[in-house]
């Protein structure tokens, strides 16, 4: 089995664990900004240790940033930071499973962004997946129960906005991170992935840390007090991100995100058996449609 597939599946599992931990931080202790920052701040030392250790063991020279590297890293880091904040904010509005499923619009959007930015072609099955996935997102966006509101008000709400925004932003970050790993000259895929990840994570930690210090006084202290869960969040973030970056260094972003949709299976298991959450009929229909769209993208992306 190709390394990029193994890395994508592992990344999806770690990402699911990380979102579960961030959900816990959001609903019990921290603000959206605090739960988002915890992921990056606690991941920095973990990533740095892994990078230095791998560099020493592999005895490779440091990769040299090429044309466009810093632009890809900056845009990707900002997009991922905002996307994470959208997902954390969404957890306060819908259940865990639906929140992650709404976020999964990223696989379709990644294919489109990859075409525009990196020139990666989009096949007809992916175009069909876009239509099916959009229908699924509309179904998921309709809150359960009879709210007495018009259909448009029920569908186009804050939850759907957060979900679609996170999907778009995660798509941007995926394509930019692949561009960053390709813009590094020298070194093997894991080393280039680790270098790009360290750079992006430092940018995210500093940027969001300054924002919290200026706009949310005391939130950094609350993050420090919740260090046990935050440390686990940083560890799972580091493991997942390193796997994502490695996969991006080996394969196009659309392929990687297609395989990464196995996260939905992990999410369902956590939601059903750990969180004991239930889904409505509309949510089941929406999830089914998005799974179909994911299957179409997976079929189009599978090598050979």
| DSSP output for 207-255 | HHHHHHHHHSTTHHHHHHHTHHHHHHHHHHHHHHHHHHHHHHHHS-HHH
In this model, does residue 1 exceed pLDDT 80? Answer: no
What pLDDT sits at residue 99?
65
CB 238 within 8 A of CB 46: yes
Contacts of 180 (CB under 8 A, 6+ apart): 69, 72, 73, 76, 196, 199, 200
Rounded CA-CA distance 96/125 in Å is: 29
User: What is the per-residue pLDDT across 231-283, written as a single tens digit (0 to 9) for each?
Assistant: 999 899 889 888 988 888 888 887 787 777 777 777 767 766 776 766 677 76
In this model, does residue 289 exceed pLDDT 70? Answer: yes
pLDDT band for position 54 (50/70/90)?
Answer: very high
Rounded CA-CA distance 301/288 in Å is: 20
Contacts of 224 (CB under 8 A, 6+ apart): none
Rounded CA-CA distance 282/45 in Å is: 43
H or E element at residue 181: helix 158-183
Domain edges within the chain = 3-301
What pLDDT sits at residue 3?
84
What integer is the mean pLDDT of 22-39?
84
Bridge partners (DSSP) listed for residue 65: 184
């Amino acid at each position: 089995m190709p390394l990029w597939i193994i890395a994508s599946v592992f990344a999806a599992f770690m990402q699911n664990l990380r979102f579960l931990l961030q959900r816990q931080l959001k609903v019990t202790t921290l603000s959206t900004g605090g739960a988002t920052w915890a992921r990056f701040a606690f991941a920095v030392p973990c990533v740095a240790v892994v990078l230095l250790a791998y560099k020493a063991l592999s005895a490779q020279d440091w990769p040299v940033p090429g044309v466009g590297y810093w632009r890809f890293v900056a845009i990707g880091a900002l997009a991922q930071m905002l996307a994470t904040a959208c997902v954390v904010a969404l957890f306060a509005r819908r259940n865990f499973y639906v929140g992650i499923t709404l976020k999964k619009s990223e696989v379709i959007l990644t294919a489109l962004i990859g075409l525009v930015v990196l020139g990666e072609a989009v096949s007809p099955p992916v175009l069909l997946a876009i239509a099916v996935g959009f229908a699924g997102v509309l179904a998921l966006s309709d809150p359960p129960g009879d709210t007495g509101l018009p259909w448009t008000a029920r569908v186009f709400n804050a939850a759907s906005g957060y979900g679609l925004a996170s999907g778009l932003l995660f798509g941007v970050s995926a394509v930019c991170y692949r561009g960053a790993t390709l813009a590094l000259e020298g070194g093997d895929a894991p080393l280039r992935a680790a270098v790009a990840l360290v750079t992006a994570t430092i940018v995210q930690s500093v940027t969001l840390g300054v924002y919290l210090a200026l706009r949310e006084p005391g939130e950094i202290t609350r993050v420090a007090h919740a260090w046990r869960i935050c440390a686990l969040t940083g560890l799972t973030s580091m493991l997942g991100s390193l796997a994502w970056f490695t996969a991006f260094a080996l394969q196009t972003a659309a392929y990687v995100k297609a395989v990464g949709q196995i996260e939905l299976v992990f999410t369902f298991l956590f939601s059903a058996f750990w969180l004991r959450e239930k889904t409505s009929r509309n949510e089941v229909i929406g999830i089914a449609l998005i799974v179909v769209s994911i299957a179409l993208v997976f079929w189009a992306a599978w090598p050979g």
